[in-house]
Chain A
Amino acid sequence: MSQAESHHDAEIRQLAEARAAEAGALLPILHAIQDRVGYVPERAVPIVAEVLNLSRAEVHGVVTFYHFFRTKPPGKQTLYVCRAEACQSMGARALESYARKKLGVDFHETTADGRFSLEPVYCLGNCACSPAVMVDETVYGRVTPQRLDEILA
Chain B
Amino acid sequence: MATTKVFVPSDTSARSLGADAVATAVAAEANRRGLSVEIVRNGSRGLYWLEPLVEVLVGSERHAYGPVTARDVASLFEADFLAGAEHALALGPTESIQYLKKQTRLTFARVGIIDPTSLDDYRAHGGYRGLANALKLTGEQVVATVTDSGLRGRGGAAFPTGIKWKTVLGAQADQKYIVCNADEGDSGTFADRMILESDPFVLVEGMTIAGLAVGATKGFVYIRAEYPQAIRTMRAAVERATASGLLGNDVLGSGRAFDLEVREAAGAYICGEETSLLESLEGKRGVVRYRPPLPAIKGLFGKPTVINNVLSLSSVPVILDKGAEFYKNFGTGRSRGTITIQLAGNIKQGGLIELGFGTSLREILYDFGGGSATGKPIRAVQAGGPLGAYMHPKHFDTPFDYEQFAAVGAMVGHGGLVVFDDSVDMGEQARFAMEFCAVESCGKCTPCRIGAVRGVEVIDRIRSGDNETANVALLRDLCDTMVTGSLCALGGMAPFPVLSVLNHFP
Where the two chains meet, the residues of A that have a C-beta atom closer than 8 Å to any C-beta of B are: 23-28, 30-31, 52, 58, 61-62, 65-69, 80, 84-90, 121-130, 132, 134, 137-142
Contacts and interface: CB of A to CB of B under 8 A. Distances in A.
Contacts of A129: 13, 16-17, 48, 51, 350
Interface stretch (B139-147, B157-165, B322-330, B418-426): B418-426
B48 A128 contact: yes
Given A121-B267, A123-B187, A129-B51, 8 more contacts: A26-B284, A27-B263, A68-B266, A84-B188, A86-B344, A90-B373, A125-B12, A137-B228
Contacts of A67: 266-268
B15 A128 contact: no
A25 B185 CA distance: 23
B346 interface: yes
B266 A126 contact: no
A28 B263 contact: yes
16 contacts: A23-B301, A27-B263, A86-B344, A89-B346, A89-B419, A121-B226, A122-B439, A125-B184, A125-B192, A125-B193, A127-B189, A127-B344, A127-B345, A129-B48, A140-B16, A141-B13
Interface of B: 12-13, 15-17, 48-49, 51, 184-190, 192-193, 225-229, 263-269, 280-287, 301, 342-347, 350-352, 373, 382, 386, 416, 418-421, 424, 429, 432, 436, 439-440, 442
Contacts of B193: 125
Contacts of B189: 123, 125, 127
Nearest to A64: B285
A26 to B, nearest CB: 3
B266 A128 contact: no
Given A69-B266, A121-B226, A127 B283 contact: no
Contact of A125 (B190, B281, B301, B418): B190
A99 B51 CA distance: 26
A16 B322 CA distance: 46
A101 B454 CA distance: 29
Most buried by B among A26, A28, A123: A123
Contacts, number: 154
A129 B14 CA distance: 9
Contact of A130 (B184, B344, B421): B344
A87 B12 CA distance: 16
Residue among B228, B267, B350 facing the most chain A CB atoms (10 A cut-off): B267
Nearest to B177: A23
A84 B439 CA distance: 12
A7 B299 CA distance: 39
Contact of A84 (B48, B187, B347): B187
A25 B287 CA distance: 17
B345 A86 contact: yes
B350 A127 contact: yes
A125 B285 CA distance: 24
Given A85-B386, A90-B345, A123-B185, A132 B283 contact: no
Contacts of B225: 31, 68
Nearest to A87: B187
Given A121-B226, A123-B185, A24 B16 contact: no
Nearest to B439: A122
Given A28-B263, A61-B285, A86 B228 contact: no
Contacts of B266: 27, 30-31, 66-69
A86 B281 CA distance: 29
Residue among B226, B265, B267, B429 with max Cβ neighbours from chain A (10 Å): B226
Given A67-B268, A129-B48, A137-B228, A122 B185 contact: yes
B244 to A, nearest CB: 24
Given A67-B268, A130-B344, A139 B15 contact: yes
A125 B228 CA distance: 11
Contacts of B263: 24, 27-28
Contacts of B16: 126, 129, 132, 139-141
B17 to A, nearest CB: 5
A36 B410 CA distance: 44
B184 A86 contact: no
A127 B46 CA distance: 12
A69 B267 CA distance: 8
Contacts of B15: 138-139
Nearest to A142: B17
B185 to A, nearest CB: 6
B188 A86 contact: yes
Contacts of A138: 15
Nearest to A93: B428
Nearest to A62: B285
